[in-house]
Each structure stands twice: as structure tokens, then as C-alpha cells.
Amino acid sequence: MKRRLNFILNKNEVETSQHPGMSLLDYLRQEANLTGTKEGCKEGDCGTCTVLIGELIKDKLQYKSVNSCLLPIGDVNQKHIVTIEGLNREELTPIQTEMVDEGGTQCGFCTPGFVVSLSGYYLINDDYNTEDAIDSMNGNICRCTGYAGIKRTANKITQRLKILAKNNHSKIELLVGEKILPEYFLDVKEKLNSLILQKKSNITDDNLDFSNHFTISGGTDLMVQKWEDILKSDVSLISDKNVISGIKEENSKIIIGGATTASEIEDSPIMAKYFPEIKEYLSLFGSLPIKNTATVAGNIVNASPIADMTSIFLALNSTLTLRNSNSSREILLKDFYKGYKTLDKKENELLTLISFNIPKENSFFNYEKVSKRKYLDIASVNSSLFIDVDEDFINEVNISAGGVAPIPLYLKETGKFLSSKKISSAIIEEASEILQDEISPISDARGTAEYKRLLLRQLFYAHFIKLFPKLIVIEELV
């Protein structure tokens, strides 16, 4: 399927009929001749390809940083793309000047990515602090500088802008005034509005029957694994389909749209209300640009045995809503996986919603992940636990385990054993033996089978030690 795409690239409106599955990075470098955006890993790991993408949402222009190497160009329709060229002015911007003065750049290959991420931080957020400014560059890697100069740059600019931001009503006006952004940013909202009005018919596509082609959501799995095949196939973009993003509470349930990103889950006040540690959990999931595009449906349907969002939603005993053009059905997530990458899902079905019961007063949740590196790494083993108790007795318990089977695993037998039991070290130890019979880890780059068994046991203990410190005697578990 080819179609016309219209978007604003820096300050110019552009139109292209390139394959919608072409990566934005390839388009920028090969078609638009904007080579300031660099190609490093092409797998979402290095951040040299970082750009900003701006979109009108409820009449508000909202930006986020993304890895252009993984973004299908079809997803930029009617949006604003900002590359390093779109931030440049005749003289260096204050961020670029500080990067030079503070020794934040040497060979310079990574520098455009860092400058785009940091400029994006000031454009995206309302309040500034150094820690968050530095964190906004967590998807950018530099092989030369050792990061100290880059951090000093973030600190200096943040200290300067933080004071000014308090007295200024329009963020874009402030950033233009401070020469962080060029003047054309003042007109982008109006330009996008008129683009949307003119080209409305270009993006309407309600046809859900798209078997025999790739369905791309955030692209953070597909564009890494299958980018060459994608270019030879028809593609459907989830952003064109009726799959919503967002999180709401309704009739004692929390309902999450399939297109909701990891960042939206991390920043959701609803999730924070019931899962106060959600930010901490999601801090273990990829970099900011990855989280800005990775969707919950992509995480579940990709069926990786170590998928992190899947681990959380398995333990919440979530229900999936699957829909095709004619019908819709519901299935429990724990029944969705039939074998390695084999799902109870027809080819033309879309995962549109994920829902689960709102936790009650006596319910507790915990998520644990162990990887070779604490941050920005995939799990060796992960596990989540949801538990509902009456006094010290277990009413209901759901436990997930990742990295220990060909599928994201729901530990049915362990849960069954624990049901109605009084929480104690002895019971938890006994349950951990049942758990060992439910798993079948293999040795691979993330550890030996024995190591993964041990890890899962420790994570299982960790759930109870964290949630019920008064009932568990650690010494009795080791």
C-alpha cells in the first residue's frame, strides 16, 4: 500500500509517496539529504538518529523524542519532524556552545543526537531540573567524551532556563527568545492545523482486513527484526487503525488502549494511583525514545518470553480485546500464548484493549527484573506478583515469570498452592519448589538454565520480602 504522506520537516512542508514502512532515518538521509541525523546501530540502542516528532493532540502541540531508525515514515503523516538541521541557527545554539565549551563533544558523531534530545527536554517539559535533563539523554551513547561535559552542559542550560521558565507563559516563546529554538517554531501549530484541514482524506483508512502484510505499531520490535521484509510488503500502521491509546478507569476496571506507549503508562496518574512504583518499574524498560514509541499491544503480541509490560499485565490477570472488521472477542492474557511465538490470535485480529480489575484495598503488586545491566537492558529473568489478602491469608494470587520458558509464563500451579494459605517463610519456600516444576529455562547469552532457576526463586522471595516484611524471616529463606 503506497500513499501520499504530508508532514512538516523542520520548517518546510513536504510530501512523499515513499513506502510507509521506510524508516524515517533512511528518508532523512537518502531522500531529504539531511545527513546531520546519523546512522549508528539502526536498532534503537545508540541514539545518534534521535529526532523530535510533534503532533497536535486536542489542539495542543506535543513533542516527543524518537529513534528515527525505528520509526516507519508512514507514522509522520501530518506531524512535525525536527532534526538537528531544524534546530540549527546561523550561530551555534546555547546548547551547542556549551557542548563545545564544556568538552561535551570530540569526534562529534553522537553530538546531534544529544543536542536534539536535550533541546527536546526543554520543549517537552514545563519544569526543568538537571537530573531530568540528563535523564532525557538516556537513549544517547557517546564513545569519546565520558559524559561529564555533556552533563555539565545540561546543568548549565537547565539552571539558566529554570529561572526564566517561571516567569514565562509560552514555553516556545521562551525557547525561541533564548535561541534554543529557531523562530519558525512559533508558526508550527498553525501550519500543522492547515495541513490537517487540507489533507484530511489522506489518513482515513478504516479497513481492518489486512492479512498478508505487516502491522506496525511502535516498530521497536518489527523495524529491528524485519525492516528489509517490510520494505517488500504491504504494511498497515496501527496509528491509522481504530486502536486507541490512553488509560481510563471504568466500572471497577482499568482499561488501556492497545496503542498506549510505555511512556504513557509510566506517566499515567491512574497507574500511579494504584501502582505507586510504576515509574520505577518502567525505568527498567528501554530508553526514553524507545518508551515513547513502544506500545503495550506490540509488547504482548510480539510474545517475547522476557517482555516486561507483558509480565506486569499477566500478573494483573488482564483480559485482551481482539477485534477484526466483523467481530470482537475477549481472552485472558494468560491463555493467549500457546507456544513459542504462537498465539490464540487470527491473522487479521488487532489487539485493541487490555483491561484488568482495579486493585482493592488489601491488594498488593510487585515487579522485579534482573538484567546484566540495571538500566537499558533486556531481562535475564523478570517476574510480577499480584496478591489480595485477608489479614495474613491469601485470597487471590497471580504470578508471572519471564525468561524461564518459551512464553511469558503465568505460574498457575504455584498460585493454586498459595491460595488460602497463611503467608509465612515456610509456605513461600514450599511454593518456590512448585514454581521450579512449572518452568523450563534454557541456557543462553543471558545466563545458564541453573542460574535462571536461582534468579526466579530469588525474585519470587523478593516479592514477599518487599510486600510482607513482617511475615517473612529472610534468614529462613536462604
Ligand X SMILES: Cc1cc2nc3c(=O)[nH]c(=O)nc-3n(C[C@H](O)[C@H](O)[C@H](O)COP(=O)(O)OP(=O)(O)OC[C@H]3O[C@@H](n4cnc5c(N)ncnc54)[C@H](O)[C@@H]3O)c2cc1C
Q: Which residue in 163, 144, 258, 254 sits closest to 208, CA to CA?
A: 258
CB of 72 to ligand X, least distance (A): 9
d(CA 118, CA 124): 10
| Nearer to ligand FES (CB atom), residue 136 or residue 311 | 136
Out of 9, 28, 32, 46, point to the residue binding ligand FES (CB under 6 A).
Answer: 46
d(CA 252, CA 328): 21
| Nearer to ligand X (CB atom), residue 140 or residue 293 | 293
| Nearer to ligand FES (CB atom), residue 66 or residue 409 | 66
CB of 474 to ligand X, least distance (A): 28
Out of 54, 104, 298, 415, point to the residue binding ligand X (CB under 6 A).
Answer: 298
Under rule CB under 6 A, residue 366 binds ligand FES: no
CB of 310 to ligand X, least distance (A): 7
C-alpha distance across the termini of the chain, in Å: 59
The DSSP 8-state label assigned to residue 235 in this structure reads E
Under rule CB under 6 A, residue 86 binds ligand X: no
What strands lie across the sheet with 60-67, from one edge to the other? Answer: 12-16, 5-9, 80-82, 50-57, 60-67
Out of 93, 145, 153, 220, point to the residue binding ligand X (CB under 6 A).
Answer: 220
Q: According to CB under 6 A, which residues from 226 to 245 bind ligand X?
A: 238, 243
> Of ligand X, ligand FES, none, which one sits near residue 294, judging by CB under 5 to 8 A according to partner kind?
ligand X
Under rule CB under 6 A, residue 55 binds ligand FES: no
Output 409-414 pairs: Cβ under 8 A, ≥24 positions apart. Answer: 409/305, 409/314, 409/438, 409/439, 410/314, 410/333, 410/334, 411/435, 411/438, 412/334, 412/438, 413/437, 413/438, 414/438, 414/460
Out of 26, 75, 308, 438, point to the residue binding ligand X (CB under 6 A).
Answer: 308
Under rule CB under 6 A, residue 378 binds ligand X: yes
Phi, psi of 60 (to 5 degrees): -115, 135
| Nearer to ligand X (CB atom), residue 115 or residue 297 | 297
Query: Could you tell me which stretch among 41-49, 149-157, 358-366, 385-393 binds ligand X (CB under 6 A)?
Result: 41-49
Under rule CB under 6 A, residue 294 binds ligand FES: no
> Of ligand FES, ligand X, none, which one sits near residue 222, judging by CB under 5 to 8 A according to partner kind?
ligand X
- Cell numbers at 250, concatenated: 471504568
CB 121 within 8 A of CB 132: yes
d(CA 315, CA 268): 19
CB of 298 to ligand X, least distance (A): 2
CB atoms inside a 10 Å sphere around CB 167: 7
d(CA 57, CA 264): 14
d(CA 236, CA 209): 10
Q: According to CB under 6 A, which residues from 43 to 72 bind ligand X?
A: 43-45
The footprint of ligand X (CB under 6 A) covers: 43-45, 215-222, 224, 238, 243, 258, 285-286, 290, 293-295, 297-299, 301-302, 307-309, 350-351, 378
